[in-house]
Amino acid sequence: NAGVMQNPRHLVRRRGQEARLRCSPMKGHSHVYWYRQLPEEGLKFMVYLQKENIIDESGMPKERFSAEFPKEGPSILRIQQVVRGDSAAYFCASSPWDGARREQYFGPGTRLTVT
């Protein structure tokens, strides 16, 4: 059973470009979470999605950031017009339906560098 997959592992973008980060949850998992980790910081929750639905986006910046989890295919975190402050590691986690516990399994992260 493959774990959570994220790609690319490293992404370099110039200021103003778009960044697309992909996350494939573990098999059988229908819940996806995105987190951002700035240097020397813990992870910060961004958004929680189920298939075709955004459940909680309270941690998402209001502009330039969007996320989706289509019926088929991976979840996508999209950052438009990137700025230097977007440089960070972005982690995806997935969980099965397991009542309220919903243990989260993390992918290896995508390190975004904005030049």
Partner 1 sequence: AQTVTQSQPEMSVQEAETVTLSCTYDTSENNYYLFWYKQPPSRQMILVIRQEAYKQQNATENRFSVNFQKAAKSFSLKISDSQLGDTAMYFCAFKSGGGADGLTFGKGTHLIIQP
The residues that touch partner 1, with contacts defined as CB under 8 A, are 31, 33, 35, 40-46, 48, 55-56, 58-59, 89, 91, 93, 100-106, 108-109, 111
Nearer to partner 1, 79 or 95 (CB): 95
> Considering the complex, what minimum distance in angstroms separates the CB of residue 39 from partner 1?
11
> Considering the complex, what minimum distance in angstroms separates the CB of residue 55 from partner 1?
7
Nearer to partner 1, 72 or 103 (CB): 103
> Considering the complex, what minimum distance in angstroms separates the CB of residue 12 from partner 1?
17
DSSP string of 30-96, one letter each residue: -EEEEEEE-TTS-EEEEEEEETTEEEE-TTS-SSSEEEE--SSS-EEEEE-S--GGG-EEEEEEEE-
Tokens of 40: 């020397």
> Considering the complex, what minimum distance in angstroms separates the CB of residue 11 from partner 1?
14
Handedness of CA 54, 59, 63, 67 (dihedral sign): negative
